[in-house]
């Protein structure tokens, strides 16, 4: 995007997880459609686009109200949770995710996960990916007691940076969701956006870069080590 600000050197990196590191969004879509189809409703992109990256209760409230289904947000969440536990262990890593994390770890760049997922769902999603997920120095989940407000509030990124001992202005956030982009910007950080291909790219104003995939990330402008040839 032509309006992208100039890159500045950073000391650490903070990563969202769902839709960025792990391809969980396809599973969330499958589960949501399974629930709402009982009421003759369709979980399409116009609904999903406004739920990505938001805390579970907020996104559930949006779905229930938008589709006008006869469930409370809490009832929807409870049913969704049971289905997610069945399907999420199957989730795959997204292209470039493991390679980038291993590269940053090899060069001792401080790295953290900052995810809206609960600690329980984080464990389920990452079960098959522990060899590289365990390389992160810090993991902050959405149910962490220090997180007072979920994305798009900046809390989770500020907490993650603090635990990494990286100043906000020296932190680089990787996000797929507009709410996460806003959270990173409001935390005073640079943000690399890797949107879903269906997402309107105009919603990513202010991002330092907007990429199709983590494979496309060039670390050099941010003062990070170059990847191997």
For the chain, which residues make up each domain, given as ranges? 12-23+91-222, 25-89
pLDDT at residue 55 in the model? 85
- Beta partners for 114? 140
Q: Which residues are catalytic?
A: 16, 18
Assigned token pair, 87: 């399907």
Give the side-chain half-sphere CA count within 13 A for 62: 16
**Rounded Cα distance, 180 and 202, in Å:** 15
Average pLDDT score over residue span 125-142: 98
Residue range 20-76, pLDDT digits in tens? 999 998 999 999 999 999 999 999 999 998 898 788 899 999 999 999 999 999 999
Average pLDDT score over residue span 142-149: 96
pLDDT at residue 52 in the model? 85
Residue range 158-187, pLDDT digits in tens? 999 999 999 999 999 999 999 999 999 999
Please compute Rg for the chain using Cα positions: 17
pLDDT at residue 151 in the model? 94
Average pLDDT score over residue span 136-162: 97
Average pLDDT score over residue span 108-137: 97
Q: Which CATH architecture has domain 25-89?
A: Orthogonal Bundle (1.10)
CA distances 46 to 25, 62, 66, Å, are 14, 12, 10
Q: Write down the pTM of the prediction.
A: 0.90
Identify the residue with better confidence: 189 or 200.
189
pLDDT class for 3, splitting at 50, 70, 90? low
Q: Is the pLDDT of residue 191 over 70?
A: yes
pLDDT at residue 133 in the model? 99
**Rounded Cα distance, 57 and 77, in Å:** 7
Hey, what CATH class is 12-23+91-222 in?
Answer: alpha beta
pLDDT at residue 94 in the model? 98
pLDDT at residue 82 in the model? 94
Q: How many CB atoms lie within 10 A of CB 37?
A: 11
Q: Is the pLDDT of residue 112 over 70?
A: yes
Unique residue bearing structure tokens 């943000």: 191
pLDDT at residue 154 in the model? 98
């Amino acid at each position: 995007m032509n309006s992208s600000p100039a890159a500045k050197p950073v000391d650490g990196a903070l990563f969202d997880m769902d839709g960025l590191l792990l391809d969980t969004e396809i599973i969330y879509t499958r589960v949501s459609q399974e629930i709402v189809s009982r009421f003759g409703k369709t979980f399409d992109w116009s609904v999903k686009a406004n739920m990505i990256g938001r805390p579970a209760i907020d996104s559930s409230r949006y779905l229930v109200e938008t589709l006008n289904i006869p469930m409370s947000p809490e009832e929807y969440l409870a049913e969704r949770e049971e289905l997610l536990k069945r399907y999420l262990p199957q989730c795959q890593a997204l292209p470039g995710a493991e390679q980038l994390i291993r590269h940053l770890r090899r060069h001792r760049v401080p790295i953290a996960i900052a995810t809206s997922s609960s600690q329980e769902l984080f464990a389920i999603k990452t079960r098959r990916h522990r060899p590289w997920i365990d390389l992160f120095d810090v993991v902050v989940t959405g149910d962490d007691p220090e997180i007072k407000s979920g994305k798009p509030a900046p809390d989770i990124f500020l907490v993650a940076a603090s635990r990494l001992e990286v100043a906000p202005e020296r932190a680089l956030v990787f996000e797929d969701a507009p709410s996460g982009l806003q959270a990173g910007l409001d935390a005073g950080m640079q943000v690399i956006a890797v949107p879903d291909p269906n997402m309107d790219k105009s919603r990513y104003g202010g991002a330092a870069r907007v990429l199709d995939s983590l494979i496309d990330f060039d670390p050099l402008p941010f003062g990070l080590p170059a990847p191997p040839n």
